[in-house]
């Protein structure tokens, strides 16, 4: 019988349960059962304060700068008599945080499986299958998929250029469309009226183009010595059921947000599968709350800081008579916003910060929310794989020793090509919305 790991410090356990409370309050608020959005934000802030000793150095200064900049904007706005968006400052990204918490539970039951003793396949076919597996699993379970697959492949072949490109692009392309991705939650914070049908119609073709172009330029040229992951597609049944349930319920009850549905159904489905396992199932849930949830402290601090920044920008903009970078927001403005966000990502600015900044700047224009959200999703999908300082790139650098600047350079041409396709897709969406 396996021996359970020692308990983490009390502050981490308390923080884990505070994060569970954040998710629960967010869901209850979305279903109009309580008005707990501010309480959800307070719970997330308390968890972050308890986890401050665990905050990484880069995340510490980056989130600190966000809070200082946003707080400065709030103070300046108060001094000028502006109304302060306190709820946005405290709880602006509580839905995004709740989504990450809910999706995190899927790691307990829905991780991709492969036979550890089986020889790894190789060649173009294996490259293509690995692309699809990483993309689909990553779209639901997020970054864990990349490391499960990457660790297995790296044991046999290290992490050469081809595998790095395969993993980073296949995973990041899910941000174009996945309702389970943090990108979707961040986009819907500033574009809550965006239609999922519009986002899927724009994002899925872009994701397919990203996978196809990577296979055409890289995958079809690899030799049998480059391994692929033996993905068992029967493992996709559970993520597929969850995705189908979210889409059907959202169509039947469109008033309930996709974020709330994912946050509710992901842990609910996990619990339904774990409870029959008895003690081992209860232990897995407890470990998720006590050990795994507190590990999201870096993302937690970043998203909370971005909320403060958005509130500060909002206060400043009300004082300066609503200055905006454009006169209207159509396809061209959407593409220019996308380019600006990619340049910020290359400079090391996390996409969630770019979304918070441009979301606040563009709000006075009353942009079409579907067009705005599609722009933000594209910025996230391309930004994380071309930025030398994104969480994905830094994780690769720390785990596999691949230099972040090299990863950014390998993905630069792909990003330029996808920017062209994104311009076409945004123009098509804008035409659809205005026709």
295 or 337: which leads in pLDDT:
337
Q: Which two tokens stand for residue 21?
A: 């409370």
What is the structure's pLDDT at 1?
46
Q: Is the pLDDT of residue 126 over 70?
A: yes
> In whole angstroms, what is the distance from residue 210 CA to residue 208 CA?
5
> Distance between CA 266 and CA 412 in Å, rounded?
34
* CA nearest neighbour of 40 among 317, 230, 327, 259: 259
- CA–CA distance, 190 with 85 (Å, rounded to integer): 14
CA distance 138 to 146: 7
225 neighbors 119 (Cβ within 8 angstroms): no
Among candidate residues 367, 386, 385, the one with its CA nearest the CA of residue 375:
367
pLDDT at 61: 83
What is the residue whose two structure tokens read 């983490």? 8
- Average pLDDT, rounded, for the chain: 86
> Is the pLDDT score of 117 beyond 60?
no
Q: What pLDDT does 424 receive? A: 97
In this predicted structure, which of 106-110, 151-155, 224-228, 362-366 has the lowest mean pLDDT? 106-110
Q: Which residues contact 99 (CB under 8 A, 6 or more apart)?
A: 180, 182, 184, 185, 259, 262, 263
- CA distances (Å), 135 to each of 128, 169, 181, 381, in order? 11, 9, 12, 12
Residue range 14-19: mean pLDDT, rounded: 94
The more confidently predicted of residues 376 and 262 is: 376
- Name the DSSP class of 233: G
- pLDDT class for 121, splitting at 50, 70, 90? confident
> For tokens 């880069």, what's the residue?
58
Structure-model confidence comparison of residues 203 and 113, the more confident one: 203
* Cβ–Cβ < 8 Å for 292, 342: no
* pLDDT score of 430: 95
* Nearest-angstrom CA–CA distance, 421 and 24: 39
How many Cβ atoms from other residues are within 10 Å of residue 435's Cβ? 5
Tokens representing residue 264 in the block: 């509710």
More confident site: 348 or 23: 23
Residue 325 has pLDDT above 70, yes or no: yes
Spatial separation of the C-alpha atoms in residues 134 and 126, rounded to whole Å: 12
The partner residues of 122 in beta bridges, in order of sequence, read 227
User: Is the pLDDT at 408 greater than 80, yes or no?
Assistant: yes
Question: What per-residue confidence (pLDDT) applies to 115?
Answer: 54
CA-CA distance, 256 to 27, in Å (whole number)? 9
Q: Looking at residue 4, what is its pLDDT?
A: 60
- Rounded Cα distance between 136 and 239, Å, is 9
pLDDT per position as a tens digit, 230-277: 777 666 677 778 878 887 887 788 777 778 888 888 888 888 888 888
């Amino acid at each position: 019988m396996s021996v359970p790991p020692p308990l983490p410090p009390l502050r981490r356990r308390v923080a884990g349960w505070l994060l569970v409370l954040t998710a629960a309050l967010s869901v209850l608020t979305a279903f109009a059962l309580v008005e707990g959005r501010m309480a959800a934000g307070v719970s997330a802030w308390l968890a972050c304060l308890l986890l401050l000793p665990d905050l990484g150095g880069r995340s510490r200064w980056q989130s600190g700068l966000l809070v200082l900049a946003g707080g400065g904007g709030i103070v300046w706005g108060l001094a000028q008599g502006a109304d302060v968006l306190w709820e946005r400052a405290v709880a602006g990204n509580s839905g995004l945080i709740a989504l990450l918490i809910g999706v995190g539970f899927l790691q307990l039951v829905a991780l991709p499986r492969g036979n550890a003793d089986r020889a790894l396949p190789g060649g173009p076919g294996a490259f293509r299958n690995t692309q699809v597996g990483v993309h689909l699993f990553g779209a639901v379970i997020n970054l864990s998929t990349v490391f499960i697959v990457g660790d297995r492949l790296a044991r046999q072949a290290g992490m050469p250029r081809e595998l790095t490109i395969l993993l980073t692009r296949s995973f990041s392309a899910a941000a174009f469309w996945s309702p389970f991705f943090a990108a979707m939650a961040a986009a819907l914070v500033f574009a809550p009226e965006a239609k999922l049908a519009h986002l899927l119609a724009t994002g899925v073709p872009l994701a397919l183009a990203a996978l196809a172009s990577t296979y055409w330029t890289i995958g079809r040229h690899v030799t049998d010595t480059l391994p692929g992951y033996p993905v068992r597609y029967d493992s996709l049944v559970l993520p597929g059921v969850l995705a189908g349930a979210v889409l059907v319920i959202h169509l039947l009850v469109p008033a309930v947000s996709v974020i709330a549905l994912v946050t509710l159904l992901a842990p609910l489905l996990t619990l339904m599968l774990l409870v029959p396992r008895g003690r081992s199932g209860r232990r897995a849930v407890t470990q998720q709350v006590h050990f795994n949830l507190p590990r999201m402290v870096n993302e937690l601090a970043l998203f909370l800081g971005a909320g403060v920044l958005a509130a500060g920008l909002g206060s400043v903009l009300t004082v300066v008579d609503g200055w905006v970078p454009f006169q209207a927001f159509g396809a061209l403005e959407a593409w220019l916003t996308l380019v600006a966000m990619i340049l910020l990502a290359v400079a090391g600015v996390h996409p969630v910060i770019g979304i918070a900044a441009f979301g606040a700047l563009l709000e006075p224009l009353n942009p079409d929310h579907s067009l705005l959200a599609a722009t933000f999703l594209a910025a996230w999908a391309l930004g994380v794989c071309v930025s030398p300082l994104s969480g994905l790139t830094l994780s690769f650098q720390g785990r596999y020793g691949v230099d972040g600047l090299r990863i950014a350079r390998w993905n630069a041409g792909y990003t330029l090509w996808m920017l062209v396709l994104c311009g076409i897709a945004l123009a098509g969406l804008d035409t659809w919305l205005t026709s």
